[in-house]
Amino acid sequence: MASVNINYQDFQKLINEDKPVLVDFWAPWCGYCRRIGPAYEKIAEEFGDNIVVAKVNIDNEPFLAQQERIEVIPTLVLYHNGKVAGSIVAPQSKARIEEFINESLGK
């Protein structure tokens, strides 16, 4: 399963559903966002059955980025039961993203 691009409305709906939602806040001009892209797609394939793996382009969704207090990108936020279960800025590796997901959901 590939990651899905979502907007404000999708976001509000998804985070209140049962499935945890992982969101990558990114922008096209951000070099490091691009670097984590391939790993993020692998994450979507591997975790897609259990969590929604989504992306928010903050240039298109400035209001959402502001509401979620995203100050630097890339920031990954994991939402569960309508709340933030954890977040990570500029993860160094795919393994670090996996670890972050498992830690956040294990809480």
Residue 69 CB neighbours (<10 A): 10
As measured in angstroms, the least distance from the Cβ of 43 to other proteins is 9
Q: Is 34 in the site for other proteins (CB under 8 A)?
A: yes
Q: Is 69 in the site for other proteins (CB under 8 A)?
A: no
As measured in angstroms, the least distance from the Cβ of 74 to other proteins is 11
Pairing of strands 4-5, 83-89: unpaired
58 is catalytic: no
Q: Annotated catalytic sites, by residue? A: 30, 33
Q: Note the residues at the interface with other proteins (CB under 8 A).
A: 31-32, 34-39, 42, 72, 90, 92-96, 98
